[in-house]
Amino acid sequence: MENLHKILLEWFAQNARKIIWRTPHTSPWGILLSEVMSQQTPVARVEPLWQKWIHTWPTPAALATADNAQILRAWANLGYPRRALRLKECAQMIVEKHDGHVPQDVEQLLALPGIGDYTARAVAAFAFGHNVAVVDTNVRRVYARLIKGQFLAQGARKAELADMQQLLPEHNGPEFSVAFMELGALVCTPKPQCDQCPITAMCAWHRAGCPAPSEHELAQAKKRVQKFVGTDRQVRGKIMALLRESTQPVTKEHIDLVWPDSVQRERALNSLLDDGLAEKTPAGTFQLPH
């Protein structure tokens, strides 16, 4: 696998996207923010908001005492806004339990609010240089094609994590991991560009003649595609946008204008109240939480 490591690292050096947080000067807190903000969100949308966040709240201590409404406005239209408030809870625990410093250990990172296995491993690897496997959707897809000869990943995630750990070089593990991810993001995409791939000669799927995915693979992939238009998530987003953009509490009549289906609209509004993303005032109007 040494040749794989060498080729992929050289390819990454020539082809990597220039992403704002990919610099040696980015703090562990900045890396943690970037990973949480990038979940299910394109990097191009994240970069300007990440800049604003890291400028406004450059440390966990700064975010830990921030106003919830300000946090949600700064989150803007990134989607899944519960992530923003979970980041505040995460910052508070970092201050309380770790003296304001992002912990390095995967298990300690996993204990933080809103931090799952992928994010914990990504922070340990990319912020602190630990040689731990980092597996996201792109990695799973590249690994499935390169090693297993499958067009789409089908294995259990725990097994894939162990497999990727075995694939890591003894040194430069984090660099290899980010290069592996980048290949999946730019070349080995759901519609692969094999003519641009630096490791085609090593790819089991390509050597097998690039077989088309089975009906089962296609069905599984279709299940993973999340619909947005017409869903409660879209309605929630419209209500949140109204609350973010208003400097005053919003009347129920204004909320009623954002979506025609009254049953779905009420369900979306109530779910925002339950999630702590909106609050009802004594006057019966609605606003972002404080």
User: Tell me: the pLDDT tens digits for 47-89?
Assistant: 999 999 999 999 999 999 999 999 999 999 999 999 999 999 9
**Separation CA 43–CA 186 (nearest Å):** 12
pLDDT value for 183: 99
Question: 231-252 pLDDT, tens per residue?
Answer: 999 999 999 999 999 999 999 9
The torsion angles phi and psi of 213, rounded to 5 degrees, stand at -65, 150
Same domain, 258 and 237: yes
Q: Is residue 15 part of a domain?
A: no
Indicate whether 37 and 82 sit together in one domain: yes
Q: Based on the domain organization, do 193 and 264 belong to the same domain?
A: no
Residue-number span of the structural domain to which 199 is assigned: 137-215
160, 244: one domain: no
pLDDT at 160 over 90: no
Q: Write down the pLDDT at residue 156.
A: 63
pLDDT of residue 119: 98
Q: What is the pLDDT of residue 155?
A: 66
Boundary of a domain, candidates 107, 126, 145: 126
- The yes-or-no verdict on residue 152 having pLDDT over 90 is no
DSSP bridge partners of 280: 286
Whether 63 and 89 map to the same domain: the answer is yes
Same domain, residue pair 37 and 108: yes
pLDDT tens figures, 165-200: 999 999 999 999 999 999 999 999 999 999 999 999
* Model pLDDT, residue 2: 77
Domain presence at residue 263: yes
Structural domain total, the chain: 3
The 10 Å Cβ neighbour count of residue 69 is: 15
pLDDT at 219: 72
3-state SS class at 280: strand
- Whether the pLDDT of residue 225 is over 70: the answer is no
Q: Which of 78, 96, 126 is the last residue of a domain?
A: 126
Does 221 map to a domain? Answer: no
Pair 96, 142 in one domain: no
For the chain, the maximum distance between any two Cα atoms, rounded to a whole number of angstroms, is: 68
Distance CA 53, CA 35 (A): 13
Q: Assess if residue 21 is contained within a domain.
A: no
197-to-146, 175, 189, 245 alpha-carbon distances in Å:
11, 18, 11, 44
Q: How many residues in total does the chain contain? A: 290
The enclosing H or E element of 1 equals none
For residue 222, tell me if it sits in a domain. Answer: no
Closest CA to 255 of 85, 233, 268, 282: 268
Residue bearing the bigger pLDDT, 212 or 131 = 131
Cβ-Cβ contacts under 8 Å for 276 (sequence gap 6 or more): 68, 85, 289
CATH number at 61 reads 1.10.340.30
Radius of gyration of the CA atoms of the chain, in A: 21
Q: What is the 3-state secondary structure (H, E, C) of 229-242?
A: CCCHHHHHHHHHHH
At residue 222, does pLDDT exceed 80? no
Residue 223 has pLDDT above 80, yes or no: no
Residues 193, 239 within the same domain: no
Of 95, 126, 157, the position where a domain reaches its end is 126
What is the helix (H) or strand (E) element at residue 279, kind and residue range?
strand 279-280
pLDDT value at position 105?
96
Distance CA 162, CA 132 (A): 10
The residues assigned a catalytic role are: 35
Residue 50, pLDDT score = 98
pLDDT in tens, 102-150: 999 999 999 999 999 999 999 999 999 999 999 999 999 999 999 999 9
User: Please, which pLDDT band fits residue 216 given cuts at 50, 70 and 90?
Assistant: confident
> Are both 121 and 178 inside the same structural domain?
no
Token couple for 272? 């925002």
Res 214: pLDDT:
79
Query: In the Cβ-directed half-sphere of 249, how many Cα atoms lie within 13 Å?
Result: 13
Q: Give the residue carrying structure tokens 């082809």.
A: 15
pLDDT attached to residue 178: 98
Q: Are 126 and 174 in contact (CB under 8 A)?
A: yes
Residue 132 is assigned to a structural domain of this protein: no
CATH code of residue 269: 1.10.10
* Structure tokens given for 208: 């097998």
Same domain, 146 and 204: yes
What is the pLDDT, as a whole number, of residue 153?
A: 83
86-104 pLDDT, tens digit each: 999 999 999 999 999 999 9
Chain mean position to CA 49: 14
What's the pTM?
0.92
- Asked, for residue 167, whether it belongs to a domain, the answer is yes
CATH number at 165 reads 1.10.1670.10
Q: Given this model, what pLDDT does residue 264 score?
A: 98
